Amino acid sequence: MAVLFLLLSSLLGMAATTSQPQDYYVTAQMGLMETTGNSDSKTYDARLTTGYNFATVTLMASGDYINTMASGEDISYFWQGQLRFEKEFLNEENRFFLSHKTEGEPFMGYIQRDSDDIGWQRLFMKSDTSLWLGEISFRYSKTQPQGPTVTVFEDSIRFYTSYEMTWASAWSAKGILEYIPQVSNDEYLLNAEAILERRLSSLLSLNLTYLLHYQSLPYNNVIESTATYTLFNMSAKF
Please report the pLDDT score of residue 217 as a whole number: 76
CB 48 within 8 A of CB 30: no
Query: What does the pLDDT read at residue 38?
Result: 66
Asked if 149 and 179 count as a contact pair (C-beta separation under 8 A), the reply is no
* Rounded CA separation 131/93 (Å): 12
How far apart are alpha carbons 145 and 233 in whole angstroms?
Answer: 31
Q: What is the DSSP string of 33-78?
A: EEE-SSS-EEEEEEEEEEEEEETTEEEEEEEEEEEEEETTEEEEEE
Torsion (CA) 91, 49, 25, 178 in degrees, nearest 10? 30
Measure the CA–CA gap between 150 and 130, rounded to whole angstroms: 45
pLDDT of residue 23: 85
Model pLDDT for residues 94-117, shown as the tens digit of each residue: 999 999 999 999 888 889 999 999
Q: How confident is the model at residue 3 (pLDDT cuts 50, 70, 90)?
A: very low
Instruction: Name all domains of the chain by residue range, CATH numbers in brackets.
Output: 2-237 (2.40.160.40)
Neighbours of 63 (CB within 10 A): 24
Exposure string of 158-172, with b = 16+ CB inside 10 Å and e = fewer, is: bebbbbbebeeeeeb
Q: What pTM, to 2 d.p., does this model score?
A: 0.86
Question: Residue 76: beta bridge partners?
Answer: 68
For all residues of the chain together, what is the average pLDDT? 87
